[in-house]
Amino acid sequence: MLFISAIINYTAETATHIVERIKKGDKQLKEKFIEDYIPFVLKVVSSFYSSKIVDLKSSDEYSIGLMAFDEAIEKFDSDRGKSFIKFAELVIKRRMIDYFRNISSVCKNEIPFSYFSSKSYVDIEEQINLSNRGTEMDRYEFIYELKDFSEKLEDFGLNISNLPNYMPKHKDSKQMCIGIAKKIVENRKIYDKLRNKKYFHMKELSKIIDVHPKTVERNREFIICLCIIYGNDYGNFKTYLNKIC
């Protein structure tokens, strides 16, 4: 039996390679891989709570996280260009949201609505007119997206509270930026460079768009915001963009 813990460095590339081997039928490798990645599962599950859960391993949420991790192994397709770690994180988050949605009408106290106490998130909700979204679970899901989006923006030196300032005033300009962002996300080489190195070259970008470089540069912050939204599973943000653009 291969002891992965002796060689694994927990990078996305290494995990992706191991999952490819697992999918070829190595069941022993799968068992050890899941065991080694328990800390990762716990980290993703615990991110749904603002305070530390004392015995998270005994919770339903932990079981759901493990099942979601196993599901991610089965469904992962390296040809689609995503790292396994990012894919697994997304699957776990989706299953957690499904879980909270299912129990919300029965036991609302189990839902970590402590997220709603964050003044900055409430302020953003008001700025983009989404404070009356409907059900509490819809609002929870939106705030979770908001939290994740905010963290990704910070990696680019951007602040979610400045989102209205990044956005151009005219509808045509917004539509133009959306078109540029979608083409960036569809181009694996350019999008990967944006995600990993936090920039894109105008020379490369000019090959797939017909927009003056100065115009792109003037709207760079908003285009980056859009790339993050379209490159991730932010359903609420996409709906919001459809309404304002």
Task: Tell me the whole-structure pTM to 2 decimals.
Answer: 0.51
Q: Crossing angle, helix 220-231 and helix 171-186, to 10 degrees?
A: 50
CATH, range 4-111: 1.10.1740
Q: Measured between alpha carbons, how far apart are the two ends of the chain, in Å?
A: 55
Map out the domains of the chain as residue ranges.
4-111, 113-245
* pLDDT per residue rounded down to tens, the chain (245 residues): 333 343 344 444 478 888 888 888 877 888 889 999 999 999 888 877 655 665 778 888 889 999 999 999 998 887 765 678 888 888 898 888 777 766 654 444 443 433 333 444 444 454 444 444 444 445 556 666 777 888 888 899 998 878 888 888 888 999 999 999 999 999 989 999 998 888 888 888 988 998 998 999 999 999 999 999 888 877 777 777 776 66
CA dist 120 and 205 (Å) reads 34
